[in-house]
Structure 1
């Protein structure tokens, strides 16, 4: 803490090392000013707003996850209905990954410049427009329109996937951030789980082409209507950033930060506020008059932040290992039918149930691990442990398919989903810790970009292998090998607690 002289502003770095990446501490004017700001942060109104933000965003990302996986459980039927190849149907899923890679940087830039609510609104609009285009493409001769709608919906993902850690950092105190991030990630998986089970139930295998068309059209219409309701809800209830976030942004603009030096602009009368982390403390007596300050993160150029991340060895290791585990999860979700049905025919509904179990068990894992991290802060240990069990589950899955053990596969899919999906929120918080003070939105965005690259690559490789007779075992072995590599890379990451150290 920095002692405060009467009404004197002090600007300094806490460390001389790497000063251009270390947040600046500004001393405040009075206990009364800080008390007022802290009261606004911990007020019931702001608590209500933060949970409204989390609720509205969760609905959006859940609906987008549902649109992503809608066609995977009924891929075989769609091939005949639209008269296209299995590769074309798989691209209805893969397009989500491809567009994310192309648009993650522009969407992250918009998130940083226009703010959280604007980014969520952009995502909601694209999500709704894409859903209606998909509905328009439900006729057998309009596969191109279905694909166009899927492309537009996939653009919404560029805004939503990287938001959980950013939303948690803006709206939630330190001791709730991992849980908030997990819930937001959890919501996307809930949507995917619903999509996995809803598609084969709503569009069952039928011989009559007209009946199949009617069922598919009704499914896509219901999704489009729900997406329209969600964007209206976002317009109405999603709140603007809290007051402390705006103050932090304003103060940052009045600091000239260059090569580790900072100069306060006396021409502006900027009120002081508490360290944002004090927002979680309801006991105001712990705030002393000589400890009023905030932490201001210097705003570097966007490209400079990217360069700093690339130069961070530990982040690059996490980038690869996270991409492998998440890409593997995408591959299994997309190709589950192609992996199982050649070995165990006529089990389309069973595949849908397995996909549902895969995702629901992952939700439980993601939810529990969020609270575990808030309690222990053991990012690396948790990630390595879950990676090991994911590899074991992948081996068991391969053996279950090879020996045609349908009943056992239900349990194995649940185990893989529990451990692999739980790494998603862990990775976001792990990255935020080791890359602070770089924006959580940028680090999360790059992690997701890596996941999409590995997802596309793995789906393409496995799809090509699976198109050959009796090559299911080879495809699954490729998956196991990649997961083993990711586990090793995670093991050698060195944990850096930059964000946590700045808060203490």
Structure 2
């Protein structure tokens, strides 16, 4: 399951760190490259509801195996797009796009699973840590993509090599999931809530969630946060190249963003497992990540600010990613006895909706500027895109979400109370 999670995030952001070279190789626009990421968000909106039903009604094992197969088929289809003997011509992009669509179908099935895994297989005092470890495979996949894609593609002609390398983990994960996962639940339930599982039926649970005010606030704010992080990861290279920063530096920033996020999530997960301070922890981290986003938005508009950009990216990741696993646990706590797959899945669907809106909005706010010899964007003949307004809007939205969450979100820990 962990390898499946890592692989699906790698495949999602394969092209973001080398967007300009991908556009040049396939003879497409940067907007078309961005759609290779946006399609994940679009497909996850309707299929996310299906994935929540599969997790809560069919079971964790089925969800993981189905996700692994879809992910593998998508990664192989992507490789077809660069096979010269097929002579696809202009159709090569559409093979690539179809492959991304198959991978996008796989993502909700596996990305919703950490809370279900933690609830079914771990005792209550280990759930936040277990969820953190599983959930942090997401930024690990992003980290690998940010480091590996620029390293594999110094020039556009190396795109086929990159696609082949990314297919290997997907095929491996599919084989391991198919052959290695045998049980839906452990022989001995690890906690009272796992023993006396009384999750509501899927549609009943959906109705309960839509009437749950704290849950709606969490879904809007935390979903918006995920959407913003999605945009940041997908657009980072394009934001920085116009100011003269290289793809390697953009990849380094993405890596720092992710590594520090892993560290933050680990530390916060351990802290929350001991203290049960879900709400206080998420509110503090949300505010600090908003501050980091403001500093990044300002700093990224200046040249020769590599050290400051690296620091702000690190802080943005440290505080922002730390929220992710804790907020997922908080979603289960405030919505219990709704099934874990449904409560976390609906937040993810909300994040995809907000992510799509943000991606389209931010691209629409860019301004094409004249050629600049200091720009490192590969499409200089068309002029680079200025991202000043979009990054400031992103920081403003992050700050607004943080304020709204701090002021209005309050809830009881329903699952913990039920277990005592």
- TM-score, length-normalised on structure 1? 0.76
Contact preservation (8 Å) 1:335, 1:463 = no
Residue 419 of structure 1 corresponds to: 319
Following the alignment from structure 2 to structure 1, what is the Cα–Cα distance between the partners of residues 262 and 9? Answer: 13
Residue 284 of structure 2 corresponds to: 385
Contact preservation (8 Å) 2:75, 2:167 = yes
Shift of the 431–233 alpha-carbon distance from structure 1 to 2, 3 Å rule, reads same
Alignment map for 1:182-261 (pairs within 5 Å): 182-205=132-155, 212-213=156-157, 215-240=158-183, 241-244=185-188
Single out whichever of 170-179 and 73-82 deviates more from structure 2: 73-82
* Structure with the bigger percentage of helix: 2
Residue 448 of structure 1 corresponds to: 348
- How many corresponding residue pairs? 396
Shift of the 78–113 alpha-carbon distance from structure 1 to 2, 3 Å rule, reads same
State the Cα deviation string for residues 434-463 of structure 1 (Å, max 9, x = none): 111111111110111111111111111111
Residue 92 of structure 1 corresponds to: 36
Q: Please report how far the alpha carbon of residue 225 of structure 1 lies from its aligned counterpart in structure 2 after TM superposition.
A: 2.5
**102, 119, 128: which one aligns with 2:46:** 102
The residue matched to 1:128 in structure 2 has which SS?
helix
Contact preservation (8 Å) 2:202, 2:342 = no
Q: Please report how far the alpha carbon of residue 467 of structure 1 lies from its aligned counterpart in structure 2 after TM superposition.
A: 4.1
Following the alignment from structure 2 to structure 1, what is the Cα–Cα distance between the partners of residues 286 and 62? Answer: 35
| Pairwise CA RMSD | 1.7
Contact preservation (8 Å) 1:339, 1:466 = no
Alignment map for 1:337-416 (pairs within 5 Å): 337-345=237-245, 347-404=246-303, 405-416=305-316
Q: Please report how far the alpha carbon of residue 421 of structure 1 lies from its aligned counterpart in structure 2 after TM superposition.
A: 1.1
Residue 378 of structure 2 corresponds to: none
Following the alignment from structure 1 to structure 2, what is the Cα–Cα distance between the partners of residues 383 and 409? Answer: 24
Alignment map for 1:417-496 (pairs within 5 Å): 417-469=317-369, 471-491=386-406, 492-496=408-412
Following the alignment from structure 1 to structure 2, what is the Cα–Cα distance between the partners of residues 100 and 64? Answer: 13
Single out whichever of 61-70 and 355-364 deviates more from structure 2: 355-364
Larger Cα-atom Rg:
1
The answer for unaligned runs of 5 or more in structure 1 is: 1-56, 206-211, 246-274, 280-293
Contact preservation (8 Å) 2:228, 2:355 = yes
State the Cα deviation string for residues 417-448 of structure 1 (Å, max 9, x = none): 11111111111011111111111111110111
State the Cα deviation string for residues 82-136 of structure 1 (Å, max 9, x = none): 1111111001111111111010111211222221111100000001000100111
Following the alignment from structure 2 to structure 1, what is the Cα–Cα distance between the partners of residues 342 and 393? Answer: 30
The residue matched to 2:196 in structure 1 has which SS?
strand
The answer for unaligned runs of 5 or more in structure 2 is: 84-88, 370-384
The residue matched to 1:243 in structure 2 has which SS?
coil
- TM-score, length-normalised on structure 2? 0.91
Residue 130 of structure 2 corresponds to: 180
The residue matched to 1:73 in structure 2 has which SS?
helix
Following the alignment from structure 1 to structure 2, what is the Cα–Cα distance between the partners of residues 301 and 398? Answer: 44
State the Cα deviation string for residues 398-424 of structure 1 (Å, max 9, x = none): 121123212210111111011111111
Following the alignment from structure 1 to structure 2, what is the Cα–Cα distance between the partners of residues 466 and 447? Answer: 28
Contact preservation (8 Å) 2:71, 2:106 = yes
Following the alignment from structure 2 to structure 1, what is the Cα–Cα distance between the partners of residues 146 and 293? Answer: 20
